[in-house]
Structure 1
């Protein structure tokens, strides 16, 4: 893979130099930030994909299994899964279809809404997602490529970017229990 070969120059730094040379200095820092984030995502996804490949999972399939695995009973409405995964409903439907075909999830009628479906994690799905999570923790999440302080600061900065873009709002304070 081309990503394994170290380049003699950082192409993003070169792009910034070109941006400035072409008179776009006011956009150069932003272009550098955006393309750096995109490249970092590519590098992290390559690690994730390599870790999940032995389990026969894509990251989308893993995310859905993990989401169901976090629920008390291993089930949730399809609409809730779509909202939490923040992807197009068709993508979730296609992922569920593949997971159901492989016996990792099943669909059941919603108990209160005849038009809706419940997604249910099978025993095989639960076992697989637990093994995959152990591998991701060991091979990616415990060592993301940054020290603890840098990791914390990066998460803070990206959370601020996401919040300012309207991705989420701070939760309202909960009243004290009675």
Structure 2
């Protein structure tokens, strides 16, 4: 486009009499658009592995864990998503033979999710692809990235995220 539609939205907001909240609207809309852009890049990079970003995150978390396995509830907590979402991701990863569920050795109420050898090799390849195609150049300078991360961290903290 030859103009910034979010800047135009700011003008429209001000003209409608909402100028006092226009900056907030621009901030939210900008973050949402940035999310769409980055998610599109991530999904394109992960497509050859038949992974979504949420499934990739679960595999990566399991690969980082010392035992390669975690209780499902702990995975849910660490990924900051509802256990139902983790369970759905596990089901899809199980179908692809990338993870398996195991009974907890000492707590009969708990189920573990464990990464398989195929899951480990898949997540290592997918990580290399994401590092090369997305994370190495997100389209911002190092200083801009630092500022963005700091600003978002403030937002997350104010929302009680940590």
TM-score for the superposition, normalised by structure 2: 0.98
Using the TM superposition, give the Cα deviation of residue 133 of structure 1 relative to its aligned residue in structure 2, in angstroms. Answer: 0.2
3-state SS, counterpart of residue 167 of structure 1 = coil
Using the TM superposition, give the Cα deviation of residue 8 of structure 1 relative to its aligned residue in structure 2, in angstroms. Answer: 2.3
- Name the structure 2 match of 1:151: 145
Q: Spell out, residue by residue over 1:19-76, the C-alpha distance to the aligned partner (whole angstroms, 9 max, x if none).
A: 0001101110000000000000000000000000011111111010000000112111
Q: CA RMSD in A?
A: 0.7
Alignment of 1:77-156 (within 5 A): 77-156=71-150
Residue ranges of structure 1 left out of the alignment (5+ in a row)? 1-6, 169-178
- Name the structure 1 match of 2:18: 24
Q: 1:50 aligns with which of 44, 51, 55?
A: 44
Q: Spell out, residue by residue over 1:122-173, the C-alpha distance to the aligned partner (whole angstroms, 9 max, x if none).
A: 00000000000000000111111101111111111110111111110xxxxx
What is the alpha-carbon distance in structure 1 between the residues aligned to residue 105 and residue 146 of structure 2? Answer: 42
Residue ranges of structure 2 left out of the alignment (5+ in a row)? none
- Name the structure 2 match of 1:4: none
Using the TM superposition, give the Cα deviation of residue 112 of structure 1 relative to its aligned residue in structure 2, in angstroms. Answer: 2.0
Moved >6 Å (runs of 4+): none
Matched, 1:167 2:161: yes
Higher helix content, 1 or 2: 2
